[in-house]
Amino acid sequence: MTDVKIPALGESISSGILAKWHVKDGDTVTRGQALFELETDKITSEGQAEVSGRISLKAAVGAEVGIGQVVAVIDESAGAPTVPAAAPEAKAEAKAPKADLPLSPAARRVATETSVDPATVAGTGKGGRVTKGDLLAAVETPPAAPAPAAPAPKAATPVVPAAPMTPVATGGRSTRSKLSPLRKRIAERLVAAQQTAAILTTFNEVDMSAVMALRKKLQEDFTARHGVKLGFMSFFVKAVVQALQAIPAVNAQLEGDELIQNNFYDVGVAVGTERGLLVPVVRDCDRLTFAGIEKAIGDYAKKARDGKIKIDDLQGGVFTISNGGIYGSMLSTPILNPPQSAILGLHNIKERAVVVDGQIVIRPIMYLALSYDHRVVDGKEAVTFLNHIKQAIEDPSRLLFGL
């Protein structure tokens, strides 16, 4: 017998919520197979099987579990004879629609928030997969009387107690559930930032014509050579690095009564996930090429959305860029990511009438917002910093010469 334990994830993490089992009690698992998802106040990570065999679950979905706690046991002696028999069974199940098919992150979230059992919902997706729309339709159609009948098979083979964090219905018009550890941590950090820093925001607008033209001109060759698309973010990361070098005060932070001046350029790029906002850090951006930055951002975004981001990936940044424009935001005042002293907010690009050389012309314009800690950064420094970014984006050749 081999115990399946909650792994250590970092010095500051002592427990988490068992968000999901990828296997059922009595399943045959193989070494390296993903077994469960653990959600903490910082990240969501997967636990894997160290050996092959038959698994017995010892903890419920939604239970709070400590680091080192045994959540399942794998009987290695039962692994060998069962594996061959399980293969054809898996094929048969693959053809069967419904809950045996994995849910998308969006559908999984709806299922969690509404208490709808996916096993009771007829899937309309590919191969009978239950979609987010199927679950929402089930919520709006109360003839879900058959729903109580579906859990019966689960009750026939009880393994663990019912999950304690299942949302509680209140009259059919709303549901109530506890905050996830990650969402709770985000809330705490946002409130702390507002209460402890003297946050001020300065704005500017930038003409994206030059960057868009350069990107269009080089996109095909860039993608063919580097295997990744040239996005806007790498331009802004490079512009931020040069602005930090020109205005070092923005690359400083308070720690107690001491001011720490950072001389490195690790830039956080905010990534939206199903569970909340994460800010993985791209290291040494001053040494990376545009392709290196794009690859790093793409890799982090995939890891974040797959729940495979690590604590080290989120720590140590000196500055953050948050792009609300991808969701259609026109203007916002981003909140600091402590202990950093500044954050740049990017917004939607819209064609606007502007005056150029005395003529009214149409240009693709983006609003920029720089929030900063006024205890560390003076207004003059903040405005100058944002102007450096504006100049670099409107004339990308400046990025080549460090101007």
pLDDT at residue number 154: 45
One domain, residues 121 and 51: no
43, exposed or middle or buried, with CB in 10 Å at 0-12, 13-18, 19+?
Answer: buried
Q: Which of 3, 221, 312, 374 is catalytic?
A: 374
Does residue 168 belong to any structural domain of this protein? no
Active-site annotation holds for 22: no
Does residue 142 belong to any structural domain of this protein? yes
Domain boundary among 93, 109, 140: 93
One domain, residues 107 and 84: no
Task: Provide the domain count of the chain.
Answer: 3
One domain, residues 84 and 196: no
Does residue 177 belong to any structural domain of this protein? no
One domain, residues 296 and 392: yes
Active-site annotation holds for 378: yes
What interhelical angle do 232-246 and 209-226 show, nearest 10? 110
One domain, residues 100 and 89: no
pLDDT at residue number 135: 67
Q: Which of 221, 284, 306, 378 is catalytic?
A: 378
Q: Does the bond joining 181 to the residue before it have cis omega, within 30 degrees of 0?
A: no
pTM: 0.61
pLDDT at residue number 25: 84
One domain, residues 193 and 45: no
Sequential pLDDT tens for the chain (403 residues)? 888 888 776 655 667 777 778 888 888 888 888 888 777 755 667 788 888 888 888 888 777 778 788 888 888 887 544 444 444 444 444 344 444 556 665 666 666 666 667 777 777 765 676 766 666 666 555 444 444 444 444 443 344 444 444 555 555 778 887 776 666 777 777 787 777 788 999 999 999 999 999 999 999 999 999 999 999 999 999 999 999 999 999 999 988 889 999 999 999 998 877 766 788 899 999 999 999 999 999 998 888 777 777 878 888 899 999 998 888 889 999 988 888 999 999 999 999 999 999 999 999 999 999 999 999 999 999 999 999 999 999 999 998 877 7
One domain, residues 206 and 224: yes
Does residue 355 belong to any structural domain of this protein? yes
We report the CATH number of the domain holding residue 75 as: 2.40.50.100
Does residue 353 belong to any structural domain of this protein? yes
Domain boundary among 39, 74, 93: 93
We report the CATH number of the domain holding residue 312 as: 3.30.559.10
pLDDT at residue number 343: 95
One domain, residues 131 and 221: no
Domain boundary among 66, 93, 120: 93
Instruction: Give me the domain span that covers residue 242.
Output: 183-401
CB atoms inside a 10 Å sphere around CB 3: 13
pLDDT at residue number 146: 44
The β-bridge relationship of strands 267-269 and 319-323 is: parallel
pLDDT at residue number 109: 63
One domain, residues 119 and 69: no
One domain, residues 101 and 89: no
CA-CA distances (angstroms) from residue 86 to 53, 240, 299?
Answer: 12, 54, 34
Does residue 174 belong to any structural domain of this protein? no
Does residue 167 belong to any structural domain of this protein? no
One domain, residues 62 and 151: no
pLDDT at residue number 264: 94
Does residue 301 belong to any structural domain of this protein? yes
C-alpha triplet 290, 295, 299: angle, nearest 5°? 150
C-alpha triplet 119, 62, 29: angle, nearest 5°? 65
Length, in residues, of the chain = 403
We report the CATH number of the domain holding residue 130 as: 4.10.320.10
One domain, residues 67 and 86: yes
